[in-house]
Amino acid sequence: MARVSAVILVVDDDPLNRTMLSMSLGNEGHHVLEAGNGHEAIATLSEHAIDLVLTDIEMPAMDGYGLLNHRAGDDRLKAIPFIVISGVDEMESIIACIKLGAEDYLPKPFDPVLLHARVGACVEKKRMTDELRELNAHLAERVEEKVREVERLNMLRRFVTPQLAEAIASGGEAILASHRREITVLFCDLRGFTAFSETAEPEEVMDVLREFHHAVGPMIFEYQGTIAQFTGDGMLVFFNDPVPLDEPAWHAVRLAIAMRDRTAELSRQWRRRGHELTLGIGIAVGFATCGEIGFEGRTEYTAIGTVVNLAA
């Protein structure tokens, strides 16, 4: 296995001990930083990315127990392994350090072979932990990205046709850019609606529009039409954009027949309520400019050209 180098912090109040540890670790390819007590160690830990800490127990200002206590309360430091190297070779001290989160406890004077074995194991464990943390973070970002994509797609489906929502989700915003294409346009509205709306109660007008839209709206998606706009009692639908279709005019004609038949049933219901309303439909084929229009916060995807006027 290839040797893994690390940044190691040596914490000891004895300069000679620090020098010996630094030389021994340096010979193994590690980069070593030094601190004379717990306070100095905390300052170094806040300024540098440390992979491993080797700490003594008996030190002035803040001893090894205090440093381990501080580590236990700092989530950022919990990922860094601590090895205690101390002349206090008592079971109570060993147990206390292990309970405080120390990875290992080595007595002084230290055995270089054992030290390097313990250091190598801790560094490798830290490396694997870091890689796992990075992987989890990456996975979390991917999940959040997918969640945002689904939420965005669901929101788009509330305002645009499913094929446009899918096209935007898969192909990006470029599909909304203005372009010229031959399309088939279907325009429909309710004949007699103006006279009806002038005499009927507003609630009845809204009920009629709601019934009309609920009846014919899903058909538009079924025949792969793109809803450009609602105009009260009417709607503008076009085919062959943004998703190309084979025989778009045939899609429009089939939709028109289905809308005519469904609205005929509604007309009979409306007539029983005293409303004379029928459906008029116009279809035209020609070139138009298609794309997104509007302003920030409110845009729509539509088609503009004489073919639209002709269908209307």
**Residues recorded for the chain:** 312
- Give me the mean pLDDT over the 92-102 stretch: 88
The amino acid occupying position 98 is I
What is the spatial distance between Cα 303 and Cα 307, in angstroms, rounded to a whole number? 9
Element (H or E) spanning 194, and its range?
helix 193-199
Phi, psi of 81 (to 5 degrees): -70, 140
Give the domains, in start order, of the chain with CATH numbers.
7-134 (3.40.50.2300), 173-311 (3.30.70.1230)
Q: Which of these ranges, 30-34, 64-68, 111-115, has the smallest mean pLDDT? A: 111-115
Which segments of 218-296 are extended strands (E)?
Answer: 226-231, 234-239, 278-295
**Residue 271 structure tokens:** 């007539």
What is the spatial distance between Cα 248 and Cα 230, in angstroms, rounded to a whole number? 21
- What radius of gyration, in Å, describes the C-alpha atoms of the chain? 37
Give the Cβ contact number of residue 96 at 10 Å: 18
The pLDDT of residue 112 is 85
The pLDDT of residue 87 is 83
The amino acid occupying position 290 is C
- Give me the mean pLDDT over the 74-103 stretch: 88
**Residue 83 structure tokens:** 């090895």
Half-sphere exposure of 81 (CA within 13 A, CB side): 22
- Give me the mean pLDDT over the 219-225 stretch: 90
Report residue 140's pLDDT band, with 50, 70 and 90 as the boundaries: confident
CA angle 264, 266, 271 (to 5 degrees): 95
All residues at 6 or more sequence positions from 229 whose CB lies less than 8 Å from its CB, including other chains:
235, 236, 300, 302
The pLDDT of residue 120 is 87
**Residue 181 structure tokens:** 């294409």
Picking from 210, 243, 209, the residue whose alpha carbon sits closest to that of residue 224 is 243
CB 301 within 8 A of CB 228: yes
What is the spatial distance between Cα 55 and Cα 182, in angstroms, rounded to a whole number? 76
Give the Cβ contact number of residue 55 at 10 Å: 26
pLDDT at 215 over 60: yes
Q: What is the pLDDT of residues 150-185, one digit of tens each?
A: 766 665 565 556 666 776 666 556 667 789 999 999
Picking from 241, 256, 230, the residue whose alpha carbon sits closest to that of residue 286 is 241
What is the spatial distance between Cα 126 and Cα 111, in angstroms, rounded to a whole number? 22
- Give me the mean pLDDT over the 273-299 stretch: 88
The pLDDT of residue 35 is 93
pLDDT at 89 over 70: yes
Element (H or E) spanning 200, and its range?
none
Mean pLDDT for the chain overall: 87
Interstrand relation of 278-295 and 31-35 (parallel, antiparallel or unpaired): unpaired
pLDDT at 10 over 70: yes
Q: What is the pLDDT of residues 17-65, one digit of tens each?
A: 999 999 999 988 899 999 999 999 999 999 999 999 999 999 998 999 9
Q: How far is CA 44 from CA 4, 22, 69, in A?
A: 22, 16, 16
